[in-house]
């Protein structure tokens, strides 16, 4: 029978950060349980608009060809 250990961690920048006492060997397969997953499912977006549309010129972009992004 397998031994089971549980730790509480947080997701930061897409990575799970575990507490320091969680001394887990490299390459160990782990499983992540997410409480309240349904509550986090929908991302709230407001499609923001500038309250002062005349400021749109401040956000004009200089476009530079950049092939370092070829895979995206």
Partner 1 sequence: MPAYDSNLFDPPAPVAVVTVRDPRRGSTVRNVPMLIDSGSDVSLVPRTSFDELNLEIDPNAGYELEGFDGRRTMAQVAQLDLIFVEKAFRGKYVIIDSNMGILGRDVLNHVAVLLDGPRLSWHERKDSSE
Question: Could you list the residues that contact partner 1 (CB under 8 A)?
Answer: 13-14, 41-43, 45-53, 55-56, 58-70, 72
Q: Output 31 or 59, the one with its CB closest to partner 1.
A: 59
CB of 72 to partner 1, least distance (A): 6
CB of 16 to partner 1, least distance (A): 13
Alpha carbons 2 and 24: distance in angstroms, whole number: 15
Spatial CB neighbours of 16, under 8 Å, sequence gap ≥ 6: 9, 10, 32
Alpha carbons 72 and 64: distance in angstroms, whole number: 16
CB of 40 to partner 1, least distance (A): 8
């Amino acid at each position: 029978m397998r031994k089971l250990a549980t730790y509480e961690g947080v997701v930061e920048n897409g990575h799970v950060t575990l507490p320091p006492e969680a001394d887990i060997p490299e390459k160990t397969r782990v499983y992540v349980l997410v409480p309240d997953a349904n509550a986090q499912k929908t991302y709230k977006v407001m499609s923001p608009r500038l309250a002062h549309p005349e400021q749109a010129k401040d956000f004009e972009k200089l476009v530079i060809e950049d092939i370092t992004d070829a895979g995206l």
